[in-house]
Amino acid sequence: MRAAADEAKSAGCQVFWASCDELSHAFPLLPLLDALESAPVDSGGQAEILELLRIESAPGNGVDHVAAATERLLALVDELCTDIPVMLVVDDLQWADPATVQMLGRLVRSVRQLPLFVVGVMRPVPRREDLKALGRTIEPASRMRLHSLSEVEVGELVANAAGSTPGPRLLRLAAGAAGNPLYITELVAALDRAGALTTDNGTIEATGTKTPGSLAAVIADRLEFLSPAGRGTLRAAALLGVDFSVSELAMASGQTVTELMPVLDEAILAGVLRENDFALAFRHPLIRTALYEELPIAVRAAWHRDAARALADNGAPAERVARQLLPAFQDEGTAGVADEWMVQWLVDTGQRLVARAPGAAIPLLRRAVAAIPAGVAPHDLLACRLADALYRTGDAASAAEVATSALEYVTRPDYLVDLHWTLTQCRSMQGRAEEALAALDRALDGPMVGRQHRTRLLVLKARTQCLLGRVDTAGQVATTALAAATESGDRWATGWALGLQTVVQGMRGEAARSLPLFDRALAVAEGHPGLADLRLSLHINHAVALVHLDRLDAAIGAAEHGRQLADEAGNMVRLGQAQSVLGELLFLAGRWDDALVEIEPAPGASKSPVVECCDRGVAAVIRLHRGDPTAGQDLADAERYAAQLGDRVIGVLALAKSLNREQADDPVEALAVLMAGLSETEDTETTADLLADAVRLAIEVGDFEAARTVVKQAEEVARTSDVPHHIALPPHCRGLLDRDPELLLSAAQHYEAAGRPLPRAQALEAAGAALAERGDVAGARAHFTTAFSLYSDLGAEWDLARTQAKFRSYGIRRGPHVRHRRADHGWSSLTPTEIKVAGLVADGMSNPQIAAHLFLSRRTVQTHVSHILAKLNLHSRTEIAREVSLRATA
């Protein structure tokens, strides 16, 4: 691979080499960050990524630094590929952290789009599920398994290393290496250093009686030729890993770079070290291992501790210090105790380490927490951080256990609030939000919570009630919290209470009343570092409020803006929410292809169960309307996520389940799904989404009592609203019940004003049927044709087939000007957005540049490019550009 990398460099490629080791698993993305550190400055992003990973973040702020850094690194690779091909090698992939493996998987899926060569080098053990999954994404022809050298190849290697044809004894010695090329080359070098090689008549032969008997022995023989100073310095280097920077070696060894240079030059000449771009590396991991294991365990642990302290004193990042502390404890075993310096370092730096590398923070925090009695300030603080670290690694059960245990003795109010934030998030993930509410109530009733912290717990309680869909209760708690926060001057609680009130107003269908609250909440949150997550939440919820007011274009623009802000902030939770909201808005607007792209499942996405449920629900509804057989998987996924949400009603999931039962010729069960949703939700918008279909199905199964009940609900929703899609509900539902075409046409007009093509088409279809029943075939044909055109634009094949069958029974055929079924392949199958993306690819733009130009996410652009390649049966961006050029000149 080194030879291939050198050849790639000679051919004009940029080559980046990442090396993993046994500790890499605890430090997300560190090998890739080190490898890309040498990326050209004008490619941008590296300093920003490092800064993003090292920002301290408190529990509950929603920032996933690793996921955000992954997106930035992917964008950086994309930019690097714009002008010059890139080769990225990850060595010892078996030790890589999960985030690095996941990022490689995404890069592998993008190689058709970029001039990018991704190489992973790994040993067969340890076997890991994520690496096996990565292997399944790679074609068999792209995988190469290395084997021991054959007898002929061993002879060729010995001849090359010795400089002449080997004799029988030398070949017999080499045969003992079992085809291991390192062993063979080190054996020949050891014999040469010992003067045990002689040349006679063009043949080189091993002489003497003493020869190295093992690979470890020949490596030790090489090291014996180093000076004592050189050997000591290389032991310090061995603490840092196979690859290391000279500056870090200077810190760990206590020497200056100038003092190190003669020793390092000696090691390079002796074949122990090699240059590795802007760093140094041991020529082989086994050489580093030999030096490392020469040290007694206790001495090695002490050296690691001293190296950690030296790095920390010189301002090294938290993850670099932790890389020294972790093996110190591993070497000491269970007897390792957190000393005073380490505890203080975790107090000062622990939250940054939790944000950057929670897996590395957990064992260190466990040691520190165990070393300090409960109730002592550092213990309580570090217990909070331990619970947060466990939550960030996805171990909700352990995080909840630590938080629950700490709540029994922690008395400091701000720690109590942090623990409850962590515990509530864990319980919500586990579908046990009721337990979190019970714990909050106990804390609110307890004597240790002062006014300010009580207010913050009330905010958390209101937020949890919102999550459970209990609108009125959430509103009452949020109002109480707002009053208390305003009185005490708590800006944080004031902002969150206002933000929760905007959500409650939206769930009540009173979006107009929420708009002033958004302005107030944003004014409070502006410039406050602890309210960055709230600002993103407000932008997303503002988009939701705008669509509830039928300002659909403005809502889509607000959601796109919220998505951009979340991406820039590195808040992947909010990014997932923004994309989910945008997908639902695009669904309502009839831009179904774009909606599916926004909500397409993506590796590494950070989404809550409610967001995943909504996304899969929207996808299921679209695909059911289109007659797509993959809808079943979307529906199953949505139901799986819904199981984690308790009894909360997700409107789009209810629609999907009902539609699925209807298409299975079970209208009774389809109606039962909608009626259950209507009876169990307090959310006005969820109710509004279910009403018309419930009336239609009730009439179909002959349950007119249910139909009349739903009509009354529709009238109640519209009673105090001037929003078009609310105003449309009574004439739509009453028109279905009374078979009144005038009412149905009135509903269609309101849906048109709201910008919602699907319910408009449904109302026109029903109006056409009502007119046909009255004998007005001409009027029915006109509305049937319009409905058919709307369904065609949506690609709603199931609705088209149903509508045709219904109107054929009245003797009405499809009009001559209606669009035919959409193409699945070829240029005509591309959506408007895909055509724009193809044009920008042809202009030479990278995915990040296209994303900025079209106000999309980089991930969304990548999905569009993948769809373009598939639909046009192309294999690269170059072929897309050629296709666009040919069409431009045709």
**Residue 45, pLDDT above cutoff 80:** no
Last residue of a domain, one of 346, 371, 396: 371
pLDDT of amino acid 334: 41
- Residue 405 pLDDT more than 50? yes
Q: Which residue has the higher pLDDT, 549 or 570?
A: 549
pLDDT (tens digit, 9 = 90+) per residue, 197-217? 999 888 999 887 666 667 778
CA atoms within 13 Å, Cβ hemisphere of 165:
5
Nearest by Cα to 721 from 838, 548, 599, 554: 548
Q: Do 611 and 743 fall into the same domain?
A: yes
Residue 471: strand, helix, or coil: helix
Whether 878 maps to a domain, the answer reads yes
Q: Tell me, yes or no, whether 82 and 172 share the same domain.
A: no
Element (H, E) at 254: none
Answer whether residue 438 is part of any domain: no
Q: What is the pLDDT of residue 622?
A: 97
Choice among 159-163, 646-650, 726-730, 754-758 with the minimum mean pLDDT = 646-650
Please state the rounded mean pLDDT for residues 784-809: 92
pLDDT band at residue 711 under the 50/70/90 scheme: very high
CA distance 27 to 97: 6
- The answer to whether 729 touches 692, Cβ cutoff 8 Å, is yes
The span from the CA of 409 to the CA of 181, in Å, is 60
Burial 62-85 (b: 16+ CB within 10 A, else e): bbbbbbbbbbbbbbbbbbbbbeeb
Q: What is the CATH number of the domain that holds 67?
A: 3.40.50
Q: Sort residue 211 into left (φ over 0), alpha (ψ -120 to 50) or beta.
A: beta
- pLDDT for 337 equals 64
**In 828-856, which positions are buried (b, 16+ CB within 10 angstroms) versus exposed (e)?**
ebbbebbebbbbbbbeebbbbbbbeebeb
Element (H, E) at 119: strand 116-120
25 with 57, same domain: the answer is yes
CA-based angle 29:31:33, to the nearest 5? 65
Parallel, antiparallel, or unpaired: how do β-strands 243-244 and 86-91 relate? unpaired
- Is residue 578 assigned to a domain? no
Kindly report the average pLDDT of the chain as a whole number: 87
Q: How far is the CA of 139 from the CAs of 131, 135, 247, 329, 472, in angstroms?
A: 14, 8, 41, 41, 55
Cβ 724 vs Cβ 712: under 8 Å: no
At 493, list the tokens. 């609680």
Q: What angle do helix axes 572-588 and 609-625 make, rounded to 10 degrees?
A: 30
Domain boundary among 756, 778, 808: 808
Query: Residue 818: what pLDDT?
Result: 47
CA distances from 351 to 50, 58, 329, 498, 664 (A): 16, 7, 20, 28, 53
Neighbours of 393 (CB within 10 A): 17
Of 641, 643, 579, the C-alpha closest to 616 is 641
Secondary structure (3-state) at 561: helix
Please determine, for residue 554, whether its predicted confidence score (pLDDT) is greater than 50.
yes
CA distance 36 to 88: 9
Nearest one of 672, 647, 235 to 431, comparing CA atoms: 647
- Give CA–CA dist 388/424, Å, rounded: 12
Higher pLDDT, 658 or 421: 658
**CB atoms closer than 10 angstroms to residue 637:** 18
In a domain, 457, yes or no: no
Give yes or no: residues 126 and 155 share one domain: no
- Cα torsion 404, 409, 410, 412 to 10°: value is 140
The answer to whether residues 701 and 668 touch, using CB atoms and an 8 Å cutoff, is yes
Residue 48 banded pLDDT, cuts 50, 70, 90:
low
**Both 645 and 771 in a single domain?**
yes
Does residue 49 register a pLDDT over 60? Answer: yes
What 165-174 contacts at long range (C-beta under 8 Å, 24+ apart), as own/partner pairs, is 165/202, 165/203, 165/204, 166/203, 166/204, 166/205, 167/203, 167/204, 167/205, 167/206, 168/205, 169/205, 169/206, 170/197, 170/204, 170/205, 170/206, 173/206, 173/211
Quickly list DSSP for 203-221: EEEE-SS----SHHHHHHH
For the record, the structure tokens of 469 come out as 């869909």
**Contact (CB, 8 A) for 745 and 783:** yes
Helix (H) or strand (E) holding 357: none
- Count of C-beta atoms within a 10 Å radius of residue 601: 12
Contact 624, 660 (CB under 8 A): yes
pLDDT band at 78 (very low <50, low <70, confident <90, very high): confident
Residue 582 domain flag: no
| Nearest Cα to Cα of residue 756 among 557, 588, 553, 548 | 588
Which has the closest alpha carbon to 807: 767, 752, 856? 767
Q: Which of 335-339, 443-447, 647-651 has the lowest mean pLDDT?
A: 335-339
E runs forming strands in 455-498? none
Indicate if 46 and 120 belong to the same structural domain: yes
**720: pLDDT confidence band, cut at 50, 70 and 90?**
confident
CATH number of residue 695's parent domain: 1.25.40.10
Based on the fold, state whether residues 62 and 124 are members of the same structural domain. yes
Q: Does the pLDDT of residue 50 top 70, yes or no?
A: no
Do the beta carbons of residue 79 and residue 848 sit within 8 Å? yes
Is pLDDT above 70 for 41?
no
754, 874: one domain: no
Residue whose tokens read 């430090």: 27
Segment 415-431 shows an average pLDDT of: 86
The residue segments making up the domain with residue 208 are: 151-218
Residue 816, pLDDT score: 43
Instruction: Pull the structure tokens for residue 260.
Output: 């190190």
pLDDT at 43: 45
- Residue 44 pLDDT > 50, yes or no? no
Domains held by the chain: number: 6
What is residue 34's predicted lDDT score, i.e. its pLDDT?
A: 84
Q: Is residue 698 situated within a structural domain?
A: yes
Give the phi and the psi of residue 374 in degrees, each rounded to 5: -60, 145
Extract the runs of DSSP E, i.e. beta strands, from 325-404.
none
Contacts 24+ apart (CB under 8 A), 403-406: 404/439, 406/380
- DSSP alpha helix (H) spans, 20-128: 30-35, 46-53, 65-80, 98-109
Residue type (1 letter), 625: H
**Token code pair at residue 741:** 């075409």
Interatomic CA distance for residues 764 and 6, integer angstroms: 67
507-531 tens-digit pLDDT: 887 888 888 999 999 999 888 878 8
Taking only the tens place, the pLDDT of each residue in 311-323 is: 999 998 888 899 9
pTM to 2 decimal places = 0.73
Can you give the pLDDT at residue 601?
Answer: 73
Do 111 and 209 fall within a single domain?
Answer: no
Question: Is there a single domain that holds both residue 664 and residue 789?
Answer: yes
- In the numeric block, which tokens belong to residue 237? 């280097």
pLDDT exceeds cutoff 80 at 52: no
Give me 194's structure tokens.
């010992």
- DSSP β-bridge partners for residue 475: none
Work out the average pLDDT over 222-243.
Answer: 88
The first and second tokens of residue 134, run together, are 């990565």
Please check whether residues 172 and 278 belong to one and the same domain.
Answer: no
Q: What is the pLDDT of residues 356-397, one digit of tens each?
A: 888 899 999 999 998 888 877 799 999 999 999 998 888 889
Q: At 303, list the tokens.
A: 């050296």
CATH code of the domain in which 262 resides: 1.10.10.10
* 61 within some domain: yes
Strand-pair partners of 119:
89
User: Coil, helix or strand for 200?
Assistant: strand
Terminal alpha carbon distance of the chain: 45
Cis preceding linkage at 516, omega within 30: no
Q: How many CB atoms are closer than 10 A to CB 19?
A: 23
Q: Which amino acid is at 546?
A: L
Which pLDDT belongs to residue 220? 83
Give the pLDDT confidence score for residue 211 in this predicted structure. 67
Do 195 and 245 fall within a single domain?
no
Q: What is the DSSP string of 791-843?
A: HHHHT-HHHHHHHHHHHHTTT----TTS--PPPSSSGGGS-HHHHHHHHHHHT
pLDDT digits (tens, 9 = 90+) for 271-300: 899 887 668 989 888 888 888 888 888 888
Quick check: is 555 in a domain?
no
Confidence bin at 540 (pLDDT 50/70/90): very high
Encode pLDDT of 94-122 as tens digits. 999 998 998 999 899 888 888 899 999 99
Q: What is the rounded average pLDDT of the residues 543-547?
A: 92
Final residue of a structural domain among 354, 371, 388: 371
pLDDT of residue 82: 80
What angle, rounded to 10 degrees, do the helices at 491-507 and 684-700 form?
20
Residues 464-511 pLDDT 10s: 998 888 889 999 999 999 999 999 899 999 999 999 999 888 888 788
| Confidence class for position 38, pLDDT limits 50, 70, 90 | confident
